[in-house]
Structure 1
Amino acid sequence: MIVPSWSAPLLAALPLLGGANAAAAKRADCNSALTFSGATYSLGVDSAAQTPYAVINAPGSSATTVPLPVPTSSKATIVDHAETGTAAAPSSTAAANGVNNAAAGGSAAPATTTGSGANAGSGSAPASSGVVNAAASGSAAATPSVCAGNTATTRDQWCDYDINTDYYNEVPDTGVVREYWLELLDMTLAPDGIPRVVQTVNGTIPGPMIEANWGDTVVVHVTNNLNNSLNGTSIHWHGLRQSFNNQNDGVSSITQCPTPPGQSYTYTWRAEQYGSTWYHSHFALQTWEGIYGPLVVHGPATANYDEDLGFMMLSDWGHRTVDEQHDYANTQGAPVLDTGLINGMNTWTSNTTNQTVGKRFETNVVAGKTYRLRLVNTAINTMFKFMIDNHNVTVIANDLVPIKPFEADIVPIHIGQRYDIIFTANQDSTASDFWMRAIPQVACSPVKNAKDIKAILHYGNSTKTPTTTGYNYTDECTDFPMTDLVPYVPMNAQSGVTLRDAATIAKNSDGYYKWSLNSTTMVVEWDNPTLMSVYNNETNFTQSNAVIELPQANQWVILVVDSTLPLPHPMHLHGHDFMVLAQGVGTYNSSIPLEMTNPPRRDVAIMPASGYLVFAFETDNPGAWLMHCHIGWVSSNTAQTFSRTTQLTNRQHAIQGFALQILERYDEIRPLIDEDQLEGNCQNWDSFDQVHDLVQTNDSGI
């Protein structure tokens, strides 16, 4: 069969519209009727306009004709109902788990399009998204073997692997390539009902979900159309180790030059880990203007559950852009933001008119079933405690590491961290509707609307507003106890070289706050990323590059980060899962015992206020890897500034520079670099820079 050139969006749309198997849709004749999940889809072409459409016949409903977009280039797209507030999501009702299974994986996409679509008061959200699954577009590298993944009663299984598989050394070879297209846009949206300038991925906040199976290869084409703000960009795949693949880590000034407006950059990586994470910009403050989204890799789990409810992405939010508040943050300290969002949604009640605008995220459950939720803290400055009123949860993973399940009422989650939790819908005798709360911890940072960052859990078809009460909690900035976070696949730390970094802060001569690690505030250059220096065999790095060189392979490194300042910091290391050996208040000294036997493993952990964090990793991954605090005001992600109108400027501002880079196994990095991609993107940036005369003033570059 010859498939028409416009068929890619049609075939990609069907699995999302009806939970259909993408591969089956691809095999079908474009004029035939397909039946999936009880609905029949008839595909056709308007003979006059020569445009594709789908006719959907669902049980109990009249036929609906859905026009499908015709791509103007070779990239495929999917239908996205963001403008109507209806998420184009895979089915969440399937018992089986895995992208390739006929029920679309049993993993519900988050209400990313729901949130932004419902809140797009300016009507600026586009009607089509740029995500495509390779199984629908025909770009799979090979024909994978049929694998159902797992079912509600066999979550610990995964094809020929299981939860006991050492995923650091063994990864399924699926032969599948999943391809996505992301477009970054300057827009005006109203996530909580209050319109403001934002930056989006495919027109929504959060952006669309990137989804794969354990072992798949993922290709993501990112087009920078931030033409109003004139911002460069890069996209980081948070928590993915990128084994021997440093160039695809997506960090401006480290692994690449920023991609300028009007240009695209393609990232390719293999899903060697499984679980819940996110992608976000690693340039300027773009993450907290809206450039982020969920990322899931399906695989085994340490506990059974019936259905996957998808992501709960927690964020703080201001009615003025974070760039507008950047000068204040650098001269006065972190500003107090107005509110928070759950999956890009919330309400706002005016203090003067008492009028409420916006909409909350809502989800429905069936009494007696058990559900999985994927929590992500995407905030710029806020630690949350998450709870579901009247429900206990079981924690089954931290970051991308499966752990031995333990029960909790409340989940503390700092910036960049992720927790996978399951809960049973067993409170139908108590109420039909319950609040799901994300409560900012004032001990970390206050938020004005702190008591009203909520979503709603409905039993059955109820649509009532909850009247339930949350759990009592202690306001604090701490992780779960280390003894709770026990990795399911055990690994021990080993002694090795010890590095110590003391964190301090002071104002520079311009009056800007600058963080330092060992008296060094990190500064790297947009137009000369570290990988370019490595490719050119340069070995002399300045002190401000904040480079720690670790040339020896498979050496254990113990890093101590401590501070006398009363401020907690979520520390994130790229390229590795690290082992948390010690964590506490006070000054670290050698008399403090280190947990070397199967300690917690993750990629973000808290250095407590006036305290220390000790963690270890093995030099098993050549590359230039960033380590930084994930608080946006103090870390690497600060730069170009929103004006106080609806435009962005290219004026550069100060950064507080709480970061360093680990140059691991220098001699092995150069052969891993794609020179054409690295040099080509930097040439694009240089050309853009020459036209717009950008100046990197007091900015770390990342």
Structure 2
Amino acid sequence: MAEVVQSTDNCENSATSRSCWGDYSIDTDYYSEVPETNVTREYWLVAENAVLAPDGVKRQMMVWNGTFPGPLIEANWGDNVIVHVTNGLQDNGTTIHWHGLRQFRNNEMDVIVNTGVPGTTQCPIPPGETMTYRWRATQYGSTWYHSHWSLQFSEGLYGPLIIHGPATADYDVDLGPVFISDWYHQTAFTTWAQGERQPIGSFVQSDTGLINGRNKWDAFTGEYEVFEFEQGKKYLLRIIAVQTDSWMRFAIDGHTLTVIATDLVPIRPFKTSSLNIAPGQRYDVVVEANAAEDNYWMRSIYQTQCSNVGNANPDSIKAIVRYKNAVELDPISSAGDLPESCEDESADNLIPHLERDVGIAGDTTQLSIQFYRGTDRKNFFQWTVGTVPLVADWSNPTNMLIQSNDFDFPAGANIHDLNQDGEWAYYILQDGTGFGLSHPFHLHGHDFSILGTGNGTYDGFTAALNVNNPPRRDTATMPGGGWLAIAFKADNPG
């Protein structure tokens, strides 16, 4: 359990001292120390059906509190957070997942089970019912909350989650979340059903994409999101990738991104002109307003080579960066030559500020990730991990079985038992699909260390794995036709 320590506000967090945080700093080991703020922040969320037009085209959606994206949930490092979630949907159950939050020891059944996975940690919340989630902000940074029930997040059931804390670089203004996503003009449930009826190997492409839930479908329909810059100031942007499919390349014409955090892990700052971002990943970046006072495109470019689904307008997902004294016109700026890739950013750049080496493996598992597609009549979709497809029993979640001391798990629960609390677990994820498509993986309850990644079949040569302060995050990419090696300390039972 993380140690609770008292803050004496010895160091003010300001535009010139973002590494400070009261009696703590960017150097504090947040795995073992947490500020005691004695503050509880309480929120109320209602999942609702709605008809909205994010890019000017109306469609049926599911949203939180009638807004898209959902309302901001924010706290300071060390705060306690209570969120009351009411299911106001017409037909579906729902849940909510706090993406990337460790919720340390919160999976035990003597407290509210609140990681939001139906069939694993809880039953879905029925229509008309309310569930209360409680957690402690033991980490800090940028993330999101979203429904974990079926395809609901693709319908709009997501919102920003910001935990304020220290940073590895200074900035003047926190501009808040920047959501990037693909977007369909029909519902996700309709798209899925239509995809199953398509000829084998044929899929329904997305129509466009959104930045902070907005875009223009054509010259007369929709609106761009606008970010205002003042020359000479530095701005923090919290980029949150929530696309259903493929990778997005994020860039601002004529500006450099200084990257200071990946997922909820502060890193040594590095500079780049663009970032390639997988679904579920987040990057905190500082952008200096050092260009001429004009209008510039902010871009989220759909990476077409990473998907056999596709997007009808991969280069038209844009927002506007407008300098304070600029005329209000659409930009005419150019993106330049941006690469297309299905890979995460280089591990050489993602160096955690708080150094943490990986211990000797107490358990090593190699899993073949497979995706079955197609029958003789229609498309058919089924993922398997270690050859076993997950079959969730929403009325009898896995944690409920554990609570009742029933360890005779059904095969469909796909349980892997880590017996030794506190030991390091290594996982080698091997692409066994045969399609050569990259895929992101996200782990609940832990950050994981990225030991290595490569093409072809992993040969078991452990010397090739990096255990010396490797990149840490909660979402990483297994390359198409290749492998991804991760490790985490098994210290959060659930």
TM-score norm. by structure 2 comes to: 0.93
Q: Hey, what's the Cα distance between the residues in 2 that align with 1:591 and 1:144?
A: 46
Indicate the percent of aligned positions where both proteins have the same amino acid: 45
Q: Does 1:488 align with 2:488?
A: no
Q: Does 1:244 align with 2:109?
A: no
**Unpaired segments ≥5 residues, structure 2:** 1-5, 108-112
1:283-322 per-residue CA deviation (whole Å, 9 max, x = no partner) reads: 0110000000000000000000111111110111111111
Distance 1:216 1:149, change over 3 A: farther
Residue identity opposite 1:437 in structure 2? R
| Contact 1:364/1:461 (<8 A) preserved | no
Aligned equivalent of 2:437, options 555, 567, 579: 567
Q: Which residue of 2 aligns with 1:287?
A: 153
The alignment partner of 2:312 has SS state of coil
Q: Does 1:432 align with 2:294?
A: yes
1:74-133 per-residue CA deviation (whole Å, 9 max, x = no partner) reads: xxxxxxxxxxxxxxxxxxxxxxxxxxxxxxxxxxxxxxxxxxxxxxxxxxxxxxxxxxxx
Q: Which residue of 2 aligns with 1:107?
A: none
Shift of 1:585: 1.4
Q: Does 1:557 align with 2:391?
A: no
Q: Hey, what's the Cα distance between the residues in 1 that align with 2:466 and 2:298?
A: 34
Distance 1:335 1:202, change over 3 A: same
Runs (4+) of structure 1 exceeding 6 A deviation are: 143-148
Q: Which residue of 1 aligns with 2:394?
A: 526
Q: Which residue of 1 aligns with 2:493?
A: 622
| Contact 1:567/1:609 (<8 A) preserved | yes
The alignment partner of 2:276 has SS state of strand
Shift of 1:253: 1.0
Q: Hey, what's the Cα distance between the residues in 2 that align with 1:381 and 1:298?
A: 29
Shift of 1:536: 1.2
Aligned equivalent of 1:166, options 7, 11, 29: 29
Q: What is the 5 A alignment of 1:582-593?
A: 582-591=452-461, 593=464
Q: Which residue of 1 aligns with 2:80?
A: 217
Q: Hey, what's the Cα distance between the residues in 2 that align with 1:291 and 1:453?
A: 20
**Unpaired segments ≥5 residues, structure 1:** 1-142, 350-354, 624-702
1:243-264 per-residue CA deviation (whole Å, 9 max, x = no partner) reads: 0102111111111100011011
Q: Which residue of 2 aligns with 1:182?
A: 45
| Contact 1:581/1:615 (<8 A) preserved | yes
Q: Hey, what's the Cα distance between the residues in 2 that align with 1:522 and 1:424?
A: 46
Shift of 1:554: 0.8
Q: Hey, what's the Cα distance between the residues in 2 that align with 1:539 and 1:404?
A: 43
Q: Hey, what's the Cα distance between the residues in 2 that align with 1:507 and 1:474?
A: 30
Residue identity opposite 1:324 in structure 2? T
Residue identity opposite 1:621 in structure 2? N
Q: Hey, what's the Cα distance between the residues in 1 that align with 2:89 and 2:441?
A: 29
| Bigger fraction of residues in helix | 1
Q: Hey, what's the Cα distance between the residues in 2 that align with 1:357 and 1:147?
A: 51
Q: Hey, what's the Cα distance between the residues in 1 that align with 2:364 and 2:336?
A: 41
Q: Hey, what's the Cα distance between the residues in 1 that align with 2:244 and 2:290?
A: 35
| Contact 1:382/1:441 (<8 A) preserved | yes
Shift of 1:461: 4.0
Residue identity opposite 1:204 in structure 2? T
| Contact 1:144/1:175 (<8 A) preserved | no
| Contact 1:238/1:277 (<8 A) preserved | yes
Shift of 1:159: 0.4
Q: Hey, what's the Cα distance between the residues in 2 that align with 1:309 and 1:602?
A: 23
Q: Hey, what's the Cα distance between the residues in 2 that align with 1:147 and 1:573?
A: 35
Q: Which residue of 1 aligns with 2:251?
A: 387
Q: Which residue of 1 aligns with 2:163?
A: 297
Q: Hey, what's the Cα distance between the residues in 1 that align with 2:9 and 2:221?
A: 48
The alignment partner of 2:154 has SS state of helix
Q: What is the 5 A alignment of 1:306-345?
A: 306-330=172-196, 332=200, 334-345=203-214
Aligned equivalent of 2:139, options 251, 254, 273: 273
Q: Hey, what's the Cα distance between the residues in 2 that align with 1:508 and 1:409?
A: 40
| Contact 2:7/2:23 (<8 A) preserved | no
Q: Which residue of 2 aligns with 1:362?
A: 226
1:452-511 per-residue CA deviation (whole Å, 9 max, x = no partner) reads: 100000011431210000031221100111111000000001221210110112248795
1:128-160 per-residue CA deviation (whole Å, 9 max, x = no partner) reads: xxxxxxxxxxxxxxx997788500000000000
Q: Hey, what's the Cα distance between the residues in 1 that align with 2:120 and 2:143?
A: 21
The alignment partner of 1:325 has SS state of helix
